Structure 1
Amino acid sequence: MFWFNPFFHLIKNEIKAIQEFLADKHATEEKDTSEYAELLLMQAIGTYKYKLVNPFFIIN
């Protein structure tokens, strides 16, 4: 219905950005902000401190 309105796409992008800021604010309210920043940085780089795999089960 709104595919012809170019402002709809701009508003949609702004709503996504606001939701991200609200999620970050909620995540850092009662926790250590440096730990959360490290988590975001590791996710952006692609390295993780904790992996969800078992190193003892290796298929050759």
Structure 2
Amino acid sequence: MMATKSEKAETAFYIKDLREHSRELFGVKPEVFDGALFHVDKKRITKTEAKKLITQFLQKEVK
């Protein structure tokens, strides 16, 4: 299966840069961003990956 043009062209950003702009990009506070990406080992991530992790984090059941 071939990747679509948008998947190939998506840029990876430094996590610290995405965190600085988490309110504008994802509509969440930096603290929420930190929680969602706590286990990410990479230094760079795409906006799509970050958004997916944030969505999963916000949908987790609180115990």
TM superposition score normalised by structure 2? 0.28
Query: Between Structure 1 and Structure 2, which shows a larger proportion of strand residues?
Result: 2
Which of structures 1 and 2 has the larger relative contact order (alpha carbons within 8 angstroms, sep 6+)? 2
Which structure has the bigger radius of gyration?
1
